[in-house]
Amino acid sequence: MLKRQSCQSSPFSMLILSMVFLLGCMHSEVYAQTISLSPDPLNLLTNSSGEMSVTLDAPAAPGGVLVNLTLVGASFVTAPFSIIIPEGVSTQNFSINAGASPETVDIFANTTGFVGDSATINVTDGTPENNCKMEATTVKKAAETYAKTAKKLRRLCKNQDFTCETVLAQATSELDQLNSSHANLLLACSP
């Protein structure tokens, strides 16, 4: 006949179990690599072309990374179906071609093992009024990007050296110039 033994835990056995659990948790975390598209939005005039970039959050592994590009809602806009980001490189540019009619198109970038991204492509006709509005929108987006970068720099520069503060001051100055340009463009675009 088997004798049943009770399982009593000692502080040492609890420590060992806790360590095994923590090690298992650390190994089970997944860090997803990401793809980003820029600029977002890309503003084009009819019958023109522009450039976008696909950026990985780390340089491409040996053999490179094949990124699939998908246009949604496109009647006249064209882009490559895919691009290859070469080994050791993190950014690859590609061309977008606008057709003869205005339209708004979404572009998606994705590949296996990465979190994808999307961006918008706005195509407007070439009238001076639309050119002015498009330029104002582009300047506004640049200002928003600078504002985000300045915010990150402020966090990074806390208690840092003089160089960091100098870069932050330069970014803040450029942000002020962009905001001023945006305001001037809005006035110039008004009838």
Please give the angle made by the CA atoms of 124, 128 and 134, to the nearest 5 degrees.
45
Looking at the fold, whether 78 and 135 belong to one and the same domain comes out as: no
Compute the average pLDDT of residues 132-137.
Answer: 69
Q: Does residue 74 sit in the same domain as residue 161? A: no
Q: Which residues contact 62 (CB under 8 A, 6 or more apart)?
A: 87
Domain total of the chain = 2
- Of residues 15 and 115, the one with the higher pLDDT is 115
User: Is the pLDDT confidence value at 12 over 60?
Assistant: no
Q: Based on C-alpha coordinates, what's the Rg of the chain? A: 25
Q: Is 41 found in the same domain as 118?
A: yes
- Based on the fold, state whether residues 79 and 148 are members of the same structural domain: no
Q: Quote helix, strand, coil % in the chain, to nearest 5.
A: 40, 30, 30
If you average pLDDT over each of 7-16, 63-72, 177-186, which comes out highest?
A: 63-72
For residue 185, what pLDDT is reported? 67
Q: What is the pTM of this model?
A: 0.56
Residue 12 within a domain: no
For 84, the domain range is: 30-125
Of 11-25, 76-90, 120-134, 163-177, which range is least confident?
Answer: 11-25
Burial of 128 (0-12, 13-18, 19+ CB in 10 A): exposed
pLDDT one-digit tens code per residue, 67-90: 999 999 888 999 999 999 999 999
Instruction: Decide: 136 and 144 in contact? Cβ < 8 Å.
Output: no
